[in-house]
Structure 1
Amino acid sequence: MLPKKKVHPKVKSALHPRSKHRERYNFEQLVASCPDLKPFVKLNEYQDESVDFFDPKAVKALNKALLAHFYGIKHWDIPNNYLTPPIPGRADYIHHVADLLGATNQGKIPTGKKIKCLDVGVGASCIYPIIGNKEYGWSFIGADIDPVSIHSSNNIVQANPSLQGNVELRLQPDSKHIFHGIIRKAECFDLTICNPPFHSSLAEAQAGTMRKLKNLQQKRITKPTLNFGGQNAELWCQGGERKFVENMVSESKQFATSCFWFTTLLSKESNLKSVLYAIKAAGASEIKTIPMGQGNKISRIVAWTFLTPEQQKNWVATRWK
């Protein structure tokens, strides 16, 4: 006897109101946009069309289809075993920081390539620049410590005319630094974004994967399988998310007038108190915590600026008008 067909909500209300991903996936449309997805679309136990989210190839094909259908990216690929990002969550980050910029601009979100964003840890997928450029026309610098990631993202840019001239990739030569070696003299950014390494060790990353798989009711798992992939630098660093973000905060003070809003994703609520303390100690003039929710997962964006209210007004008047 087949399980009773699930009744799904019409929209995923936890996602940002401007998200293109609030409705359930229309696989007929996605396959039309990217035929590579077709072999992976099957009926699940509830007789709904879906893909096997435990199959890295299926997840990668779904991402290719989403990027083709919603963002006009016809050529997208990443090396094997590199992080395949969940696109709805990445899009939410972009929409929330767009609102952050808009709040400083009388509610109007600034658009166009004059808005310059720095993506710290762009990865092999180039996902934040793709979404930010398509949704708001922003220009991006994508930075990473991994040459393979930089090469992969650069290939994506070169293969898609809409990204050419709007996205530049830079290799961070020193893994101890975040902004040094990337932000050039007299260069200014309206926004920095970052999805920091989540775990503090490889063992912790593997344990987290096991918990995720068990939560999704995958049975008889004995070996960790990263269905979204991921290299060491993408998944963990010494001290984990908290230490990475605290280092970012410390270094951001040295670029206080080079950027309007510094932002980062912060996945662990337990890290929020110490990160906010570090931002205050660094002398930020304004701090914001922006909640985000996708499904059962609750996350947040932490944003800070060193600009005074008068400096903020001057920035908007001279750069955004």
Structure 2
Amino acid sequence: MNAQKPGLHPRNRHRDRYDLPALCLACPELAEFITATPTGEETINFADPRAVKALNKALLFHFYGVQQWDIPEGFLCPPVPGRADYLHHLADLLSETGGEIPRQASVLDIGVGANCIYPLIGAYEYGWRFTGTEVNAAAFASAQAIVNNNPGMSRSIRLRRQKDDTAIFRGIIHKNEQYDATICNPPFHNSAEAAQEGNARKRRNLGQKQTDTRNFGGQQQELWCEGGEVRFIQQMIAESQPFARQVMWFSSLVSRGENLPDLYRALTAAGAVKVVKKEMAQGQKQSRFIAWTFLDDDQRRRFAARAR
């Protein structure tokens, strides 16, 4: 049980294989989804959405002290290890400026989702303060319920409804506010049809029939937007300019490496002073995020001093 998953960040709590007995103690409902591989090793049925949700509940309780967590049917159930990796690599990036991982960092999560996953992990791991934004009313209500149902989280996590579905930072970052970083898991697909095909491909990979319940949920704002990931991040880059002095590092996940050249060109046009790419891996899945800043080294050091 001590074999490690390749590629995860050294501080990631999920580098070891899942300790299923311990996780079942954390979330007893997980026990009914335990099954055996052809070699007799215990695992869970990842093709069953109830099993995936139960696993998330167990991971969040066991590793991050999240006592109450749930999401409405049809919303994205995120892979916890990969989400944690983004935050650990972001912590490394922030430490490069201040010499250590900041203890009082303020982070803006664009599209916090019904699951509220990044604030839950980041508040526990690093004591950071999070502002989560959400355009979908049901997702916002779900995230707020998670915060409300876990005592003490309201001190670290606040949520803001984005009332303009054409905006990202506009209407969210208030005058005189400062953030050490922004994070985002942008919509991946460029159309509903592409999102449906993506879900169908995942069902095939899991051995599911096309009529089976979807394991990978998600609403439109979570899965697709016109122009897909590139268009969304390009808009984010353009909207980041007016807030160049209020945010030290803007960042976003980029699912496909081939999208990077278009994004680098947009960052050059926007006048970004520095651009960083952080590569990540979970098993065979490769991912990355890019981060950009409009502040020079001295400005970032002064900015970072407030969070130490």
- TM-score normalized with structure 1 length: 0.93
**CA distance in 2 between partners of 1:160 and 1:276 (Å):** 40
User: What is the CA RMSD across the aligned residues, in angstroms?
Assistant: 1.4
**How far did 1:275 drift?**
0.6
Deviations 1:240-279 (A, max 9, x none): 0000000000000111011000000000112110011101
| Partner SS, residue 154 of structure 2 | coil
**How far did 1:223 drift?**
4.2
**CA distance in 2 between partners of 1:44 and 1:202 (Å):** 34
1:96 and 2:95 correspond: no
Question: For residue 3 of structure 1, what is the aligned residue in structure 2?
Answer: none
**How far did 1:214 drift?**
3.1
Question: For residue 214 of structure 1, what is the aligned residue in structure 2?
Answer: 204
Q: Within 5 Å, give how 1:54-133 maps onto structure 2.
A: 54-106=47-99, 108-111=100-103, 114-133=104-123
Question: For residue 293 of structure 2, what is the aligned residue in structure 1?
Answer: 305
Question: For residue 174 of structure 1, what is the aligned residue in structure 2?
Answer: 164
Deviations 1:271-297 (A, max 9, x none): 110011101110011100110111111
1:155 and 2:139 correspond: no
Number of paired residues?
308
**How far did 1:40 drift?**
1.2
1:280 and 2:288 correspond: no
**How far did 1:210 drift?**
2.3
| Partner SS, residue 13 of structure 2 | coil
Q: Structure 2 vs 1, CA of residues 36 and 215 (structure 1 numbering), >3 Å: closer, same or farther? A: closer
1:203 and 2:196 correspond: no
1:226 and 2:214 correspond: yes
Q: Within 5 Å, give how 1:223-302 maps onto structure 2.
A: 223=211, 226-302=214-290
- TM-score normalized with structure 2 length: 0.97
Look up the equivalent residue of 1:200 and give its one-letter code.
N
| Partner SS, residue 104 of structure 1 | helix
| Partner SS, residue 174 of structure 2 | coil
Is the Cα–Cα contact under 8 Å of residues 10 and 23 in structure 1 kept in the other structure? yes
- Percent same amino acid at aligned positions? 48
Look up the equivalent residue of 1:59 and give its one-letter code.
V
Q: Structure 2 vs 1, CA of residues 67 and 198 (structure 1 numbering), >3 Å: closer, same or farther? A: same
Look up the equivalent residue of 1:40 and give its one-letter code.
F
Is the Cα–Cα contact under 8 Å of residues 59 and 228 in structure 1 kept in the other structure? no
**How far did 1:215 drift?**
3.6
**Structure 1: any 5+ residue segments left out of the alignment?**
1-7
